[in-house]
Structures are given as structure tokens and as C-alpha cells.
């Protein structure tokens, strides 16, 4: 009597497992790609929105955010440290057309008539000026900084940034400096907004404050770009 074979042979099971493994692996890679693409788009949107916000601020107040003299007279509700109603001109030039990173000392007489001294810089006041002017959304960082999911995002004069010795195409006076972007995210952002090469063009990345240029060979590039510049 003939007996019909039931179930699967070991070879068939092995083939099925290999196929399932390939499908799962492809799904993971696709998922990672989609997540990476989403994060890249998030950075592109942030850089674009900040660029627009800074330009709108300058059009409205005729100064860069952070560099607005007597800012308390034009913008209500600001942090006391960014009022600029009593500046120490020896440490910073407020209103000179640059977002300075040099030390800023502000002396404030509070509501109780006590003298309070704040230390910071024009660059550290940029988020507060933009936020209180209604040009950006809520600042999530506890220190009042603009941040991405990867690190701080600072707006400043190029000559006072980590890119002061980097030959950015177009020689922008000011940049948006993003910190600690994964190199793949930086490449994606560069493809969206520049030439796709993070070592050349208007937008570039560096991996040291010295700075030390990133190796143009993708195989030799680090996992994280320490600083990435987007021109204003």
C-alpha cells in the first residue's frame, strides 16, 4: 500500500526558514531606512524653519536675534538675561550686525530692586528672542537651547563658530550649527539641501573644533559628525 507523505521535509523547512530570515532582514533594513529618512527630513525641516525665522526676525526688527539692542523695548516676556537694557559694552558689541559668542554680562534690577548679574552671550539669547517674538515653537531644552533629537542647534556668526577656518562655499556671515548628527543623517540632509558631499559645498561637517575636516571617503568617515553647518 502506498503511503502519502504528510508535512514538510527538512529541506523544505530549511528553505522556508531562509526565506523568512531574508524577509525579516529586509524588513528591518527597510524600517531602519524609513526611520533614518524620517529623522533626516526632521533635521531638514528644522534647519529650514530656523532659517526662515531668523530672516523674519531681521526683517521685523532690523537686527539678528540675539543682537537686538534694548530688546526688552521690542519683545515682551523675555528672560531677564536677554533684556539688554544695561549692557557691558566692554565684553560684547550688541547691535553690531553679528551674533557674537563672546562673553556677555547683563546687570538687571529685578522687581524687588535687587541687582542681578547674568552671564551668557548673544548666541545663547537667540532662542529666547526667536521664541518670545513668536517665530519658533516652544524651546524644549531645560537650558533654553534649541535642540534636535541628536544635540544642540546654535545660530551664530561664522567667524566665531567651529567653522571659522572652514572654506564654506558662499562664505556665509552666519550659520546654523547642528551638533552630533549621525553621518548618514548628515549625508541625507546634504543631499536634500546642498551637493550631497559633507566635506564640500555650502553645507559641511567637521569632527573637531580645531577643525579637522572629515575624510571625503565614506568608508573612512566617523559614525557621528561633531558639527554640521547650514548657512543663513
Domain assignment present for residue 162? The answer is yes
Confidence of residue 35 (pLDDT cuts 50, 70, 90): very low
Ranking 16-25, 108-117, 127-136, 215-224 by mean pLDDT, the lowest is 16-25
Cα of 124 vs its chain's centroid, Å: 14
Tell me whether residue 119 is in a domain. yes
225 in any annotated domain = yes
- The pLDDT assigned to 90 comes to 42
pLDDT value at residue 169: 95
Residues linked to residue 175 through DSSP beta bridges, in sequence order = 156, 231
In a domain, 15, yes or no: no
Tens digit of each residue's pLDDT (9 = 90 or more) over 45-62: 999 999 999 999 999 999
Looking at the domain assignment, is residue 32 inside a domain? no
Return the percentage of the chain with pLDDT > 90, whole number.
48
For residue 21, what pLDDT is reported? Answer: 62
> Where does the pLDDT of residue 79 fall: very low under 50, low under 70, confident under 90, or very high at 90 and above?
confident
If you average pLDDT over residues 91-120, what whole number do you get? 74
Indicate whether 10 belongs to any domain: no
Alpha-helical (H) ranges within the chain are 10-61, 71-74, 122-132, 183-193
Domain-embedded: residue 85: yes
Higher-pLDDT residue of 175, 222: 175
3-state secondary structure 94-137: CCCCCCCCCCEEEEEECCCCCEEEEEECHHHHHHHHHHHCCCCC
Q: Would you place residue 78 in the very low, low, confident or very high pLDDT band (cuts 50, 70, 90)?
A: confident
Position 210 scores a pLDDT of: 46
Q: Is residue 97 part of a domain?
A: yes
Structurally, the chain folds into a number of domains equal to: 1
Range of the domain at 213: 38-231
Residue-wise pLDDT for 11-34, tens only, equals: 766 676 667 666 555 454 444 444
Q: In terms of pLDDT, which residue wins out, 86 or 224?
A: 224
Per the omega criterion (within 30 degrees of 0), is the bond before 133 cis?
no
Please name the residue that has the C-alpha cell 556665509: 172
- pLDDT, residue 73, reads 86
Amino acid at each position: 500500500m502506498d503511503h502519502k507523505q504528510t508535512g514538510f521535509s527538512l529541506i523544505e523547512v530549511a528553505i522556508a526558514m531562509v526565506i523568512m530570515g531574508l524577509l525579516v532582514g529586509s524588513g528591518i533594513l527597510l524600517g531602519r531606512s524609513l526611520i533614518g529618512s524620517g529623522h533626516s527630513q526632521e533635521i531638514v525641516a528644522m534647519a529650514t524653519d530656523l532659517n526662515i525665522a531668523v530672516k523674519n526676525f531681521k526683517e521685523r526688527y532690523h537686527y539678528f536675534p540675539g543682537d537686538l539692542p534694548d530688546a526688552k523695548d521690542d519683545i515682551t516676556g523675555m528672560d531677564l538675561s536677554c533684556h539688554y537694557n544695561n549692557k557691558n559694552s566692554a565684553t560684547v558689541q550688541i547691535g553690531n550686525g553679528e551674533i557674537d559668542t563672546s562673553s556677555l554680562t547683563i546687570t538687571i534690577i529685578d522687581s524687588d530692586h535687587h541687582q542681578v548679574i547674568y552671564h551668557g552671550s548673544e548666541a545663547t539669547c537667540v532662542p529666547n528672542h526667536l521664541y518670545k517674538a513668536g517665530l519658533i515653537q516652544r524651546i524644549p531644552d531645560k537650558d533654553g537651547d534649541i535642540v534636535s533629537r541628536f544635540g544642540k542647534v546654535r545660530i551664530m556668526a561664522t567667524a566665531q563658530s567651529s567653522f571659522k577656518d572652514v572654506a564654506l562655499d558662499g562664505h556665509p556671515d552666519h550659520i546654523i550649527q547642528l551638533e552630533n548628527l549621525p553621518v548618514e543623517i548628515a549625508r541625507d540632509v546634504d543631499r536634500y539641501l546642498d551637493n550631497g558631499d559633507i566635506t564640500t559645498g555650502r553645507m559641511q561637517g567637521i569632527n573637531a573644533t580645531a577643525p579637522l575636516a572629515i575624510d571625503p571617503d565614506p568608508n573612512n568617515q566617523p559614525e557621528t559628525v561633531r558639527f554640521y553647518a547650514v548657512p543663513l
